[in-house]
Amino acid sequence: MPLLKPLTRDDVAPELWPLWDACEQAYPDFRNLWATMAHSPIVFGHVWGQLLALERESPVAARHFEIAILVVSSATRCDYCVAHHTPRALGTGLTTAQLDYLAALPGVPLAEDETFDVAHPTFDAADSLVIDLARFTAWAGLQAPAAGVHPRVVHRLRRRLFDRLAAVFSPRQIEELVWRTTQCAAFNWHNELLELDLEPEVAPPVAPR
């Protein structure tokens, strides 16, 4: 049982109804998430208005957003996000084998001499850089501090990764990729902390094969 009960449309102020209806249309399977965030009109308005705008207007491929979200959500073990984004990732053309590969990545340590210039198996160069961005984000925030990795190593790898990203993506694409990747961790911890339930139509995540 969730710690906060998701609201209904009748519970929110009329000025939020257009955004509510837009979420219902674009993200019906995420109902428990946005209906919980609606407890705060500020959070609901800004977060979901931003997500809908990114979906409409971002130059970042949906495939790349889904890759980043799945890598980070696997690292933080957010079942809610993995369950919801798996079908969305498949809808962008990713295969089940590729999703299994992404799910297993958080268990692979990032080498301190990582160059970020080798494509991941079955992924192209752009896909691979997005994987590296998400993997680095999770590693730098979770694994590197626990492993006692010196901050200079993290800094060096961050600069190296940014140089690779800048050679392929525009500044706007980098900003929106970085924002959505790091924001994903906030979603993960929000969902786990409030113990969000999966919606009845959403299948629980399965372990990688």
Burial of residue 94 (CB within 10 Å: 0-12, 13-18, 19+) is buried
What is the pLDDT at residue 208?
56
What is the pLDDT at residue 108?
84
What is the pLDDT at residue 179?
97
Cα 194 to Cα 31: distance, rounded to the nearest angstrom: 14
Cα angle 151, 153, 155; round to 5: 70
Q: What is the distance of C-alpha 15 from the center of its chain?
A: 28
pLDDT tens by residue, 53-103: 999 999 999 999 999 999 999 999 999 999 999 999 999 999 999 999 999
Q: pLDDT at residue 176 above 60?
A: yes
